[in-house]
Amino acid sequence: MKNVFNTLSELAAFLLVGTFIALVWANMDYESYHAFIDGTIFTNAVINHNAPHAISLHFLVNDIFMVLFFGIAMKEVSESFLPGGALSSVKKAAMPAIATAGGVFGPIAAFFILHAAMGPDPGFIGAWAIPTATDIAYCWLFAGLIFGRAHPAVTFLLVLAVLDDLVGMLIIAVFYTPEVHIYWLGLVVLAMVICEILRRMGVKSFWPYFLIGAPLAWFGLHNTGVHAALALVPVIPFMPHGERDSGLFVDDDAHHDTMNNFEHFFKPIVDVGLFFFGLANAGVILSGDAFMGKATWIILLSLLVGKTVGITLMSWIANKAGLDFPEHMSLKHVIVVGAIAGIGFTVALFVTTVALGSGKIPEEVGGMLKLGALLSFSAGAIGIALARIFNIEKIHPEKGADTGHGH
């Protein structure tokens, strides 16, 4: 059963099934789907500083469950700065950081170019941040299929995806917060201070950090106006960690430090919980209007073209400026990496939901924006096609690298 579960998790099958059910249900009976997802389960006046708050399945998934999703992403970012990590030195971090900049600014530039070319529409100009997102799970899946798990391109892509989502968290905090009540950030600071005290006291269990730090940060962010799904982002870096980074998303039972124990406990919960994320966020009406809507194609092309061009161009410039590509990687590998990074999917859906909730985008274009994010799954197929065109070979743990590399 463990092997079956691990296989389903690797294939992100729970997310796919939830997405499929949401699409079928929404298109067969949208009213019952909407009632199930957005219907009030109960009203709670405790979590809000000024008004009662309706608790729905959509709220539980996006504001509670996604805390764990971004917490695990932040754990990987934090460990990447340890010795041996992908960001442990300026030299090691420079290339993926520059490529990440391309993966953020490329889609933004593509969005505004396409928005102007297709006829400016102020109604969804606030959607510019949606194509900056990168889906970690599916990037990892397609990178493994194309390069083999041992290829450095997989690590390079994962670093890009994690950094991309870190930038996405900052964008959500800064640009999609309609009204900031700055004094509530005191709770976030208090959470960080308590977690630092726990660390200095030598507390090794992740539970005190999680049960004390996360709720304080959650209430602080929620009442500040920043999306509360980021609650673990300021908490995770204070957890005790190993002396070295063993790699991104490495399933290694030999590591029992606090950060790794946190990930080992919650990652299966996150894998299964992505079923509910897909169910709650992917219910898009697949109408002709949605497929023909320019918002759909602006998001899709910004992801597919903007990511590929942005990552490739910035990596090429960095290489010409004297930075080396990772060993066994050349520009052709970077192009494929850029294409795969165009899978926005999970995080793009999340950013869309946040943007809609912020009031910066009208509800009537929400379906088109989500459809663009869903269709970005095609970036995986584009990556496979490019890999065949470039004749890229896999690297397996027991094999050496393919010979098509250079600097």
- For 189-242, give the DSSP string: HHHHHHHHHHHHTT---HHHIIIIIHHHHHHHHHHHTS-GGGTTTTTGGGS---
Lowest average pLDDT, out of 24-28, 179-183, 399-403, goes to: 399-403
Q: Residue 406: what pLDDT?
A: 39
Quote the pLDDT of residue 119.
81
Least confident segment among 95-104, 133-142, 242-251, 262-271: 242-251
| Residues sharing a CB contact under 8 Å with residue 131, sequence separation 6 or more, in sequence order | 107, 108, 110, 111, 299, 302, 303, 306, 307, 344, 348, 372
pTM exceeds 0.95 for this model: no
Nearest of 19, 14, 18 to residue 374 by alpha carbon: 19
More confidently predicted of 49 and 243: 243
pLDDT for residue 353 is more than 70: yes
Residue ranges of the alpha helices (H) in 85-151?
90-117, 136-147
Pick 285 or 178 by higher pLDDT. 285
**Hey, where are the domains in the chain?**
2-389
Give the mean model confidence (pLDDT) for residues 193-216: 97
- Confidence check: pLDDT of 264 > 60: yes
Question: What pLDDT does 254 receive?
Answer: 59
Distance, CA of 128 to CA of 161 (rounded, Å): 18
Q: What is the CATH number of domain 2-389?
A: 1.20.1530.10
Higher pLDDT, 277 or 158: 277
Angle at 305 between CA 299 and CA 306, to 5 degrees: 75
Higher-pLDDT residue of 179, 274? 274
Give φ, ψ of 81 to 5 degrees: -85, -10
Radius of gyration of the chain from its Cα atoms, rounded to whole angstroms: 21
Q: Across-strand partners of 55?
A: 42
Confidence class of residue 244 from pLDDT cuts 50, 70 and 90?
confident
For residue 17, give the nearest of 378, 384, 271, 344 by alpha carbon.
271
Interval 324-351: pLDDT, tens: 998 889 999 999 999 999 999 998 999 9
Q: At what angle do helices 136-147 and 345-357 cross, to 10 degrees?
A: 160
Q: What pLDDT is attached to residue 249?
A: 67
pLDDT at 88: 86
What pLDDT score does 105 carry? 97
Q: 133 φ, ψ to 5°?
A: -75, 150
Determine contact, residues 179/225, Cβ cutoff 8 Å. Answer: yes
Cβ atoms of 343 and 139 closer than 8 Å? yes
**Eight-class DSSP state of 389:** H
CA 277 vs CA 16, 59, 64, 66: distances in Å: 10, 10, 11, 8
The C-alpha atoms of residue 71 and residue 233 are separated, in whole angstroms, by 6
Predicted local confidence at residue 155, as pLDDT: 85
Residues 345, 142 contacting (CB under 8 angstroms): no
- Give the pLDDT mean for 78-89: 87
In this predicted structure, what is the pLDDT of residue 397? 62
- Alpha-carbon torsion angle 245, 246, 250, 251, nearest 10: -110
What integer pLDDT is reported at residue 401 of this predicted model? 43
- The residue to which tokens 């970690």 are assigned: 136
Query: What's the pLDDT at 177?
Result: 80
